[in-house]
Structure 1
């Protein structure tokens, strides 16, 4: 009887061509200055492989000694971003899949509804654009809190069109917010623009902020959540801290930097919050990533040949034996969450800013 085809086999033939020149071709030249403040006083904060999808390559996160902005250096090219983002949402089994699911743990309906409630103290918005909306799960949940608001979504992937087909958003905009055509079409259309864990993926966060203010109406609100690079877990766990998100995260911005940038753009800071945005996945994520790294390599389309049947069975057995450790670590995350949220162990922060005038 022929062997059962494995999911990785569908793309295995493509990957040798993508990698023929080495993973280095997916990276821009290394820069010697900070992309945020221009300082040349840099230090290496992190050096890591792809711990979630196990794609080839080594990725470096540098930090500016002057403004503390952390950034991928060298940065991925547009082609590199496409390669390392491809398959990310395809789903995996075992510890690899667990680590991947942790990175999207903040996408639960409960967390989305809690985020939407943060806008309740302000007038009910007529229109809301969710940037990086993916499948539209945030707008779907937020409608329960804001039933009279029209939610649109924008995403660089075709998922946004599936979100429209599923009725989760009213209008689907496929592309990037900084695209001139999209900016011209959406200028001054929205009362609220949300960016949930979006800015860290963008090549130029400042350009994204300016674009967001362009599509806001005067007096509209910009709602941002991003990983907090000042989180103590990042120091303690090093490359095993899931919020480093390499190679998908290009920037990690300290709260004070984003606040200063928004104020320089004419915004009024309405509120900041390090408690509610915290996602309890740091310890469980670190354990899952470390165990997945230590186990025999999983099958993947970018590997020249699939693992033998013996290695598959061995990996499955070891994953089963290790699973209770991950479950226990995740339970610890949730147990500690009420305390962690009140300390510098909180792993994310939120900003709500209001624009006072139309951007230039």
Structure 2
């Protein structure tokens, strides 16, 4: 039986922890390493990580020490762990920590390494338009996601998958991959393969500013950006009272619907797009003359113009409001009559 220390923090790490803890024939999870409780919500109440909550439920000891502290090595060795399993822990482990466990540390990464090393592989794969991704279990080294590979599995990216959808599937599939790879490693039944050399794209973390939607690009690019940024950090734009949406055009400048509708727009408010689809251009209701960033509605539909076809908003969240169907929001905001007269008289 392999004695494992599990390191992880967010929801996507919980399936991996539960899988290892549930396989008592092959593993003993002797401790869980996660971040300290952090302030959450409006009240800034200290809240445990999802992994800590799962560990407490499973009656597994929890470590919250900083791996950079000199005392951490002794705390780590005291657990009796032979190997470490990491899923989205969120901190870099230095050489002395990596050497502290006799059988090493093994990371579950949500991409087909060596492609998309880094913090946001799922988001970047969707944004780039990949149709296939996967999960990789590799031995942790000092380089960023560069260690030798134990096992990989593939997963298709659906045309409407958000990063949240895809992460949920990869977390569940990856938990099986992690367990089987660690079992085979412990029994000497696996030969690790070094990653091929070459120039590969790095999956940099997506910031709040990155998630500001551009509408001066083709509709497929708008769709990918929204899906990649959902649910985190959340795709957003600025909504003006006149029913015009403005966004960053990639050069730090505002991109929207042109001077004829930019006049007297008044105060703009942040506006989140939770779900959207490229509009069906065969539908006669879909406006064909929307400029990038201009909004139009009917009783059942809300569209925003892009550089090509419009994109249809399905679920949104306006500032200070709950998430809701886009058409319900538009009726409540009384945008429909004004926007239709301005943008699409034939509706």
TM-score, normalised to structure 2's length?
A: 0.32
* Higher RCO (CA-CA < 8 Å; seq separation 6+): 1
Larger Rg: 2
Higher helix proportion (structure 1 or 2): 1
TM-score, normalised to structure 1's length?
A: 0.31
